[in-house]
Amino acid sequence: MLPPCPARAALDAPRPQRLRQVHAAQGSSSELGVLAGFQNPTAGTVYINRPCSYVFQNPDHQVVMPTVGSDVAFGLGKLKLPLDEVRLRVSKSLDAVGMLSYSQRPIQTLSGGQKQRVAIAGALAEASKVLLLDELTTFLDEHDQIGVINAVRDSVAADGEVAALWVTHRLEELKYADGAIYMEDGQIIIQGDVSTISKFIKKKQARYFGHFEL
């Protein structure tokens, strides 16, 4: 259950070919839930370009089919596309996240990071224009973390039509973004370029830890 989230502050939507990250103390997942349509804001109105796709923190909640290719194709069933179009979309989206050679691999043989990349491929196959990414690297080791980050960056840069909003608590991931937003308790505190947000967070951390040194 996501906590209530007011829509009192506006998020600047990232332009195409842009990856924007939300670094949050609390409330960012609720913000994504509102943007994805999973819950209604307690106040205000939300507008977002469609189609958009939400990629969960835990890939096991989203990757459900027995093989990589069938999982990416699964979401296309509702679109009633010709078989050739389905195959083309699956191949193109898997290639975008560096997983094309894994198309026949059983899902249970993949690492957590590879599963996340398959989930992203599924979103791309549905021609989503906005990717809503909820702390994708929380359960990943460093190798898989970098693999997922690169997959997202390659996806948003591939054709200039996809934008991504990435929620993270990992400060080191900010360097991969083109812009950032810092939130607390569901409210936007500051938004701007990565350098500005990074400095703001580090100052807050220094003040916090400084209290324990007195």
Residue 51 pLDDT more than 60? yes
Joined together, the tokens standing for residue 202 give 């580090």
CB 138 within 8 A of CB 28: no
pLDDT value of residue 86: 96
Q: Which of 31, 85, 126, 135 is catalytic?
A: 135
Q: Is residue 91 part of a domain?
A: no
Domain span at 37: 18-64+128-210
Q: Is residue 173 part of a domain?
A: yes
Q: Is residue 153 part of a domain?
A: yes
pLDDT value of residue 45: 78
pLDDT value of residue 6: 37
Alpha helices (H) in 75-214, listed in sequence order: 83-96, 112-125, 142-158, 194-210
Q: Alpha carbon of 203 to those of 41, 176, 189, 195, 197: distances in Å? A: 31, 20, 14, 12, 10
CA distance 197 to 77: 41
Q: Is residue 69 part of a domain?
A: no
What number is the average pLDDT over the span 190-202? 90
Q: Is residue 175 part of a domain?
A: yes
17 pLDDT tier (thresholds 50, 70, 90): very low
| pTM, to two decimals | 0.77
Which CATH number is 35's domain given? Answer: 3.40.50.300
Q: Is 135 among the residues known to form the active site?
A: yes
Q: Is residue 48 part of a domain?
A: yes
Q: Is residue 115 part of a domain?
A: no
Q: Is residue 155 part of a domain?
A: yes
- Tens of pLDDT, residues 109-165: 999 999 999 999 998 899 888 888 988 888 888 888 898 888 888 888 776 778 888
Which DSSP letter does residue 109 get? G
Task: Domain count for the chain, please give it.
Answer: 1
